[in-house]
Amino acid sequence: MTSVPYDAWLHWVVNDVCNLACPYCSAGNSWKYDTYAPIDIDTFLQSIERTGKTFLVRFTGGGEPFLTRNLPELCLRLAERHYLAFNTNLIPARARQLFSQLSPDRVDNLHCSVHFAELERQDLHARFIDTAQMVMARGFNTTFAAVAYPGHRDRLPQWIDMYRSHGIRIILAPFNGEWDGKTYPQSYSEDDIRYYGFGKRAHYFQAPGASADG
Average pLDDT score over residue span 51-57: 97
DSSP structure string for 146-162: EEE-GGGTTTHHHHHHH
The pLDDT tens digits of the residues spanning 111-152 come to 999 999 999 999 999 999 999 999 999 999 999 999 999 999
Q: What is the CATH number of domain 8-175?
A: 3.20.20.70
pTM value > 0.75: yes
Task: Determine contact, residues 174/204, Cβ cutoff 8 Å.
Answer: yes
- pLDDT beyond 50 at 212: no
DSSP secondary-structure letter at 16? S
Give the span between the Cα atoms of 87 and 109, in whole angstroms: 9
∠ Cα 54 2 156 (to 5°): 125
pLDDT band at 197 (very low <50, low <70, confident <90, very high): confident
